Amino acid sequence: MSETKVFLLPDLGEGLTEAELVNWLVAVGDEIRVDQPIAEVETAKSMVEVPSPYAGTVAELHGEPGQTLDVGKPLISVTPVGGSMAQQPAEVTAETYREEEKAGSGNVLIGYGTPGGTATVRRTRPRRTLSLVEPAETKTVETGTQPKLTTAADDLLLKRTRVPGKLGAVISPLVRRMAKEHGVDLGHVQGSGESGLIMRRDVEAAINAPAVEPGETPARPLVEPAETSTPNVDSRTGLGIVSRTPVRGVRKAVAANMSRSRSEIPEATAWVDVDATALVELRAELKKKDGHNTPGLLAFIARFVTAGLKKYPELNTRIVTAEDTSGGEQQEIVAFDGVNLGFAAQTDRGLMVPSVRNADKLSARELDAEIRRLTAVARDGKATPAELGSGTFTLNNYGVFGVDGSAAIINYPEVAILGVGRIIDRPWVVNGELAVRKVTELTLTFDHRVCDGGTAGGFLRYVAYAMENPGALLADL
């Protein structure tokens, strides 16, 4: 009899620990092949097609559309045809699955898939891998009081939160061992370190948290909400409830990111009105020559921003918490060799912030092309986690919504964001004479821990001067 294989929802990259099941692409009883897309899921970053590592007959679908699934939990069960797995070994591991994706058919997860070639995987030394197939073999761990059974699934929970190219969410062997010995599921522990790094104190807090015994009723709040006989009436306002929308996917990620930004960053805001007439006229002249190939105004402003960040690199940094030599913690300001310029893009799935990699090395024309490309893939839900989570500074053009100014919230963990308002005709004094000019407002919100007002003001005035004198600045860029 063929053994049914259970495929667990894999790590989708960038430390994401859950995904919403949008749509099944297969049904129970269907014959599927290796790398065939089996489901569409929506993460906090993008819409993703999940391919199957198994070939065979679909035995069970674990979840319904609209349900949120945790990474490492069963997604689909597949029964091999003829008692053996076509094109795949009997046991598929998390590590080999990722490796095979890099050299597979190209039918892969958005964000870390294959180019569709026929390259082979080269390994220089054996790797310790974890089975994605359940049930897993159990082993006994001595905790000092009584033996505790653990499984490979427990190990998967300890390892499943990771960020490609960075250290994992749990890097200390001591923290891993402590979590194992006390039965703490690290998949449900919120790390207090940089990028969600789980520290020893986080595991200790989880261990000391009061547990609810089986059959015990959780403590009731001191103040109970007022009861109402009509479930569709809000008890506080007395108004009818039209709808209830779960906060999930992109909106959930945005809410968590903005809340963390406001709670952790001591922000300050500075703004200045800018006479952008010369920039508008320069673009109009270029458009007469190049037509539709002329970069947009945002691309020119982006070029001035990257130049300004080279003069004021404090605004292109990040604050991290690291362990010092004595085992304690200290804050560090991390500077970067280059600028990944994020920009706000409104989509049907909410506000996205894709980033132009190495934007400081691009011309205004190249920036314009990349901004247009990233805007398109973000609106199509196909932006990769790397494209959505690698920014070092954000440019927010809220002027397209007819807004003059806004004290924007910093896109954590960055330390600054520059907003550009609409460009409108306003009275302006030029050489002692009143004139009608094209005026906009620049607003800079910055983390006061990385710099003082002098640095922020210097950067803001630099970008403003560049917009007022674009010809002189572009000649030197």
Cβ atoms of 382 and 359 within 8 Å: the answer is no
Rounded Cα distance between 24 and 52, Å, is: 12
Q: Percent of the chain, pLDDT > 90?
A: 40
Cβ atoms of 462 and 315 within 8 Å: the answer is no
Cβ atoms of 162 and 197 within 8 Å: the answer is no
Rounded Cα distance between 156 and 16, Å, is: 14
* Average pLDDT score over residue span 109-124: 36
Task: Name the residue with higher pLDDT: 203 or 169.
Answer: 203
pLDDT band at 45 (very low <50, low <70, confident <90, very high): low
Amino acid at 100: E
Q: Which domains does the chain have, with CATH numbers?
A: 5-102 (2.40.50.100), 138-205 (no CATH), 250-476 (3.30.559.10)
- Report the mean per-residue pLDDT for the chain: 77
Using CB atoms within 10 Å of the CB of residue 291, give its burial: 0 to 12 exposed, 13 to 18 middle, 19+ buried: exposed
Single pTM value for the model:
0.58
pLDDT band at 356 (very low <50, low <70, confident <90, very high): very high
Rounded Cα distance between 394 and 309, Å, is: 11
Would the pLDDT of 283 be above 80?
A: yes
For residue 67, give both structure tokens: 């349900």
Dihedral pair phi/psi, residue 413, rounded to 5°: -95, 25
Cβ atoms of 268 and 446 within 8 Å: the answer is yes
Rounded Cα distance between 23 and 63, Å, is: 10
Whether 188 is a known active-site residue: answer no
Single out the catalytic residue among 182, 188, 292, 448: 448
Cβ atoms of 391 and 342 within 8 Å: the answer is yes
Query: How far, in Å, are 161, 336, 425 from residue 167 at the CA level?
Result: 10, 18, 51
| Helix/strand/coil for 310 | helix
| pLDDT value, residue 188 | 75
Please identify which residue in the block is written with the tokens 């058919």: 105
Rounded Cα distance between 103 and 34, Å, is: 13
Specify the range with the lowest mean pLDDT, choosing from 157-166, 213-222, 276-285. 157-166
* Average pLDDT score over residue span 422-435: 95
pLDDT band at 292 (very low <50, low <70, confident <90, very high): confident
- The β-bridge partners of 8 are 74
pLDDT band at 76 (very low <50, low <70, confident <90, very high): very high
| pLDDT value, residue 111 | 35
Residue 20's closest CA among 74, 63, 72? 63
